[in-house]
Amino acid sequence: MFAGVALQLFFLGRIALMAALDPHSTAFQRSEAWRVAVGHARGEGEWRWRQQWVDGEQISPHLWRAVVASEDAGFFEHRGVEWEAIQKAWQKNERRQEQAERRDAQNPNRATREPKVVGGSTITQQLAKNLLLSGERTLLRKGQELVLSLMLELLLDKRRILEIYLNSVEWGQGVFGAEAAAQRYFNKPASRLTAYEAARLAVMLPSPKFFETRPGSAYLARRAGTIVARMGDIRLP
């Protein structure tokens, strides 16, 4: 009990500091850096790492709008969690659990594999997970993600949350943050991204490593066009 309370107070302190101090790295970035470093040491690939923090004013407003339009259209209205999306995800997880139990009953000698936990994550939830949590998908970790999301919304304003997100989110193998992504894919600073370029980057976010290797993807181009059309509805604070 005491350890749990102490952990929450630790998280609360870390988040409070982010109101004034830019986080140098996230838990996800550190785990990725270790994975890339180990792979490089084994000769499994070249070492490549791009990350550069820039102030929000140095990130094109097009990218702010594109990411919100693509990832979380209700970002500026909700309090960090979309409870309806969480309920739908919970129901989906329950169905997966039931299916897993039926498979185990039919094949008792088969190795048991935990069903993948999914959730309707807002930008705030994604940031909470990337900043402070491991990449495992369990109900316990999902619960901690919700608590951290509420802390983020309590202690930071929406613009600060989105600024940290844009500077820390993954945009490809060893590519983190808007500035690194703009340089990697368009050879320009994030401040000069056009609406369409911003939309393409936003569309990559659910699967950045997948789309990094498929720059000519028809889906990417088509979806980017849809996001451009929606960006006008996003009002920045």
**pLDDT per residue as tens digits for the range 65-102:** 999 999 999 999 998 888 676 666 556 655 555 665 56
pLDDT of residue 2: 78
Q: Is 170 left (phi over 0), alpha (psi -120 to 50) or beta?
A: beta
pLDDT of residue 116: 46
pLDDT of residue 115: 44
Query: Which residues constitute the domain of residue 197?
Result: 27-39+48-73+157-237
Token reading at 213: 């290797």
Q: In this structure, is residue 176 part of a structural domain?
A: yes
- Choice among 28-37, 150-159, 175-184, 226-235 with the minimum mean pLDDT: 28-37
Question: At residue 211, does pLDDT exceed 80?
Answer: yes
Residue 170 exposed, middle or buried by CB count within 10 Å (0-12, 13-18, 19+): buried
Q: In this structure, is residue 79 part of a structural domain?
A: no
Q: In this structure, is residue 16 part of a structural domain?
A: no
Q: Please check whether residue 179 is in contact with residue 187, taking contact to mean a CB–CB distance below 8 angstroms.
A: no
pTM of the shown model: 0.84
> What is the distance between the alpha carbons of residues 237 and 231, in angstroms, rounded to a whole number?
14
Comparing 205 with 112, which gets the higher pLDDT?
205
> What is the distance between the alpha carbons of residues 58 and 70, in angstroms, rounded to a whole number?
21
pLDDT of residue 113: 47
222 C-beta neighbours (distance < 10 Å), count: 10
How far apart, in Å, are the Cα atoms of 160 and each of 45, 136, 179, 234? 35, 26, 17, 17
Token reading at 127: 């940031």
The CATH code of the domain that includes 209 is 1.10.3810.10
**pLDDT per residue as tens digits for the range 26-74:** 999 999 888 878 877 777 767 778 899 999 999 999 999 999 999 999 9
pLDDT of residue 118: 46
- Identify the band that residue 162 occupies on the pLDDT scale cut at 50, 70 and 90: very high
Q: In this structure, is residue 227 part of a structural domain?
A: yes
> What is the distance between the alpha carbons of residues 90 and 99, in angstroms, rounded to a whole number?
14
Long-range contacts of range 110-119, CB-CB < 8 Å, 24 or more positions apart?
A: 114/138, 117/93, 117/141, 117/142, 118/89, 118/92, 118/93, 119/85, 119/86, 119/89, 119/145
Q: In this structure, is residue 15 part of a structural domain?
A: no
pLDDT of residue 108: 60
Interacting residues of 163 by C-beta distance below 8 A, sequence separation 6+: 55, 56, 59
pLDDT of residue 33: 86
Nearest to 34 by CA among 135, 123, 163: 135
Please provide the average confidence, as pLDDT, over all residues in the chain.
86
pLDDT of residue 237: 84
> What is the distance between the alpha carbons of residues 59 and 54, in angstroms, rounded to a whole number?
7
- Most distant CA pair in the chain: distance in Å? 58
Question: Taking residues 129-146, what's their average pLDDT?
Answer: 83
Question: Taking residues 160-174, what's their average pLDDT?
Answer: 96
- Considering its fold, how many domains does the chain have in total? 1
Q: In this structure, is residue 178 part of a structural domain?
A: yes
Q: In this structure, is residue 34 part of a structural domain?
A: yes
Q: For the CA atoms of 69, 78, 127, 135, what is the dihedral angle to 10 degrees?
A: -100
Q: In this structure, is residue 10 part of a structural domain?
A: no
